[in-house]
Amino acid sequence: MIGGLFIYNHKGEVLISRVYRDDIGRQAADSAVFNSSGPLLEERLRNAVDAFRVNVIHARQQVRSPVTNIARTSFFHVKRSNIWLAAVTKQNVNAAMVFEFLYKMCDVMAAYFGKISEENIKNNFVLIYELLDEILDFGYPQNSETGALKTFITQQGIKSQHQTKEEQSQITSQVTGQIGWRREGIKYRRNELFLDVLESVNLLMSPQGQVLSAHVSGRVVMKSYLSGMPECKFGMNDKIVIEKQGKGTADETSKSGKQSIAIDDCTFHQCVRLSKFDSERSISFIPPDGEFELMRYRTTKDIILPFRVIPLVREVGRTKLEVKVVIKSNFKPSLLAQKIEVRIPTPLNTSGVQVICMKGKAKYKASENAIVWKIKRMAGMKESQISAEIELLPTNDKKKWARPPISMNFEVPFAPSGLKVRYLKVFEPKLNYSDHDVIKWVRYIGRSGIYETRC
């Protein structure tokens, strides 16, 4: 299991260090049976801490692996802005679990004090130690749901002295219980829920316009403000479900078959009953209070690609490039895409650029080695064009310019996968509100993920 956890700043100074196991930092040579004769824990700890600093943070080369083995000690690290989080172990631990835990820890810290920065960490070091004590015991991850943690680890000192016995046992049963993500007795005057279908559409296209790979990775994020312990059931136009239901009425299958989508794979928040999904493909759950990510999914078939990029690059001699890029929007004319940005990479030896574009604004950004073309809004079934002349400095560099792909960013008000929410039913048998009394909001947002066209 995890033997220790360190947080470093970008200089490699330790901000937080929590050691769970004695073996950490023990030198390879000091593997003898006699623990006590080895250097003191302090000293050994230094060794482990220093080893990571020297070999990873201060390494000259780019990081070659997120897992590093130094003197039989394994270091897992993730980086958030300029903060390094490192988990250390000497055993054959579950590597996926360690990384999941490190991410989770970042989430928990962010939920408590916002951005993970050196300043915030120093400001909250007592809190972080307290959290680490709670969510990792002897290196075993424990309940790390922020909702539950916030009931008994608070920034304003512990109120435990004033808690009643019921409150205490409620906390412990929530932390350890089956429904660790929700507490009993939540009440709202207005029962309301918001569903956001957030999709990011990814594309890799060849210069000739052939789709090399395309997929949508989507998330359904739910904000729930519901009283009691509501039982929810979520339905969407999943092909498998619709075909199953459509068996009886033949024409409905043909009608709805067009609108249903094939989901390659999906994963769910831990509140969803997975065995029920596996057997009946129904998504039922008791939601946490507030915002959470209900599910993630991935589709690869019949994706609506909102934009098509047509590049044309011509090398005129050794000192000039001519670039022309056309973008075409490919969705209903009544809809508007926003925040459109096209990035056209330029060679390192660019000396000057002239740009002409029909719409929006375009600028050459020398520091980013790219022409950035921004358009605020664009309706469906339209097209726009940019042309640029790039002057190059003559170089004797033999190596050709690698021609990075042209990338695009945008936001559209529909789901490129074609996913539709069919229903979200709420049942709360104990309290007297029904499904009809709940106010429900649904919103679709499609964003560009890695949306690239090679040129």
Partner 1 sequence: MTDSKYFTTTKKGEIFELKAELNSDKKEKKKEAVKKVIASMTVGKDVSALFPDVVNCMQTDNLELKKLVYLYLMNYAKSQPDMAIMAVNTFVKDCEDPNPLIRALAVRTMGCIRVDKITEYLCEPLRKCLKDEDPYVRKTAAVCVAKLHDINAQLVEDQGFLDTLKDLISDSNPMVVANAVAALSEIAESHPSSNLLDLNPQSINKLLTALNECTEWGQIFILDCLANYTPKDDREAQSICERVTPRLSHANSAVVLSAVKVLMKFMEMLSKDLDYYGTLLKKLAPPLVTLLSAEPELQYVALRNINLIVQKRPEILKHEMKVFFVKYNDPIYVKLEKLDIMIRLASQANIAQVLAELKEYATEVDVDFVRKAVRAIGRCAIKVEQSAERCVSTLLDLIQTKVNYVVQEAIVVIKDIFRKYPNKYESVIATLCENLDSLDEPEARAAMIWIVGEYAERIDNADELLESFLEGFHDESTQVQLQLLTAIVKLFLKKPTETQELVQQVLSLATQDSDNPDLRDRGYIYWRLLSTDPVAAKEVVLAEKPLISEETDLIEPTLLDELICYIGTLASVYHKPPSAFVEGGRGVVHKSLPPRTASSESTESPETAPAGAPSGEQPDVIPTQGDLLGDLLNLDLGPPVGGPPLATSSVQMGAVDLLGGGLDSLMGDEPEGIGGPNFVAPPAAAVPPNLGTSMGSGLSDLFDLTSGVGTLSGSYVAPKAVWLPAMKAKGLEISGTFTRQVGSISMDLQLTNKALQVMTDFAIQFNRNSFGLAPAAPLQVHAPLSPNQTVEISLPLNTVGSVMKMEPLNNLQVAVKNNIDVFYFSTLYPLHILFVEDGKMDRQMFLATWKDIPNENEAQFQIRDCPLNAEAVSSRLQSSNIFTVAKRNVEGQDMLYQSLKLTNGIWVLAELRIQPGNPSFTDLELSLKCRAPEVSQHVYQAYETILKN
Please enumerate, by residue number, every residue annotated as part of a binding site. 361, 363, 365, 374, 376
What is the smallest separation between the CB atom of 92 and partner 1, expressed in angstroms? 4
* Residue 171 host element (H or E): helix 165-176
What is the smallest separation between the CB atom of 442 and partner 1, expressed in angstroms? 21
What is the smallest separation between the CB atom of 173 and partner 1, expressed in angstroms? 7
Choice between 107 and 192, CB closer to partner 1: 107
Choice between 178 and 432, CB closer to partner 1: 178
- CA distances 443 to 197, 225, 251, 414, Å, are 6, 17, 29, 8
Q: Could you tell me if 149 and 135 are in contact, meaning their C-beta atoms sit under 8 angstroms apart?
A: yes
Contacting residues for 351 by C-beta, under 8 A, at least 6 apart: 391, 392, 393
Q: Could you tell me if 384 and 346 are in contact, meaning their C-beta atoms sit under 8 angstroms apart?
A: no
The tokens 């089956």 sit on which residue?
Answer: 178
Q: What does the alpha-carbon distance between residue 83 and residue 79 come to, in Å, rounded to a whole number?
A: 6
Burial class of 192 by CB neighbour count within 10 A (0 to 12, 13 to 18, 19+): middle
Choice between 97 and 326, CB closer to partner 1: 97
Q: What does the alpha-carbon distance between residue 5 and residue 18 come to, in Å, rounded to a whole number?
A: 5
Choice between 271 and 357, CB closer to partner 1: 271
Q: Side-chain half-sphere of 272: how many Cα atoms within 13 Å?
A: 22
Bridge pairing between strands 439-453 and 192-205? parallel
Choice between 191 and 407, CB closer to partner 1: 407
- 3-class secondary structure, 389: strand
The tokens 């400095």 sit on which residue?
Answer: 393
What is the smallest separation between the CB atom of 353 and partner 1, expressed in angstroms? 21
What is the smallest separation between the CB atom of 443 and partner 1, expressed in angstroms? 21
- 3-class secondary structure, 372: strand
Choice between 17 and 417, CB closer to partner 1: 17
What is the smallest separation between the CB atom of 322 and partner 1, expressed in angstroms? 20
What is the smallest separation between the CB atom of 327 and partner 1, expressed in angstroms? 19
What is the smallest separation between the CB atom of 441 and partner 1, expressed in angstroms? 23
- 3-class secondary structure, 142: coil
Choice between 76 and 307, CB closer to partner 1: 76
**Residue in 203, 214, 205 with CA at minimum distance from that of residue 454:** 205
The tokens 């000057």 sit on which residue?
Answer: 352
Using the Cα atoms of residue 199, residue 205, residue 209 and residue 215 in order, give the sign of their dihedral: negative
Choice between 180 and 378, CB closer to partner 1: 180
Residue 390, number of CB atoms within 10 A of its CB: 24
What is the smallest separation between the CB atom of 320 and partner 1, expressed in angstroms? 21
Q: What does the alpha-carbon distance between residue 335 and residue 434 come to, in Å, rounded to a whole number?
A: 35
Give the single-character DSSP code of 36. G
Q: What does the alpha-carbon distance between residue 304 and residue 259 come to, in Å, rounded to a whole number?
A: 13
DSSP string of 147-164? Answer: HHHTTT--SS---GGG--
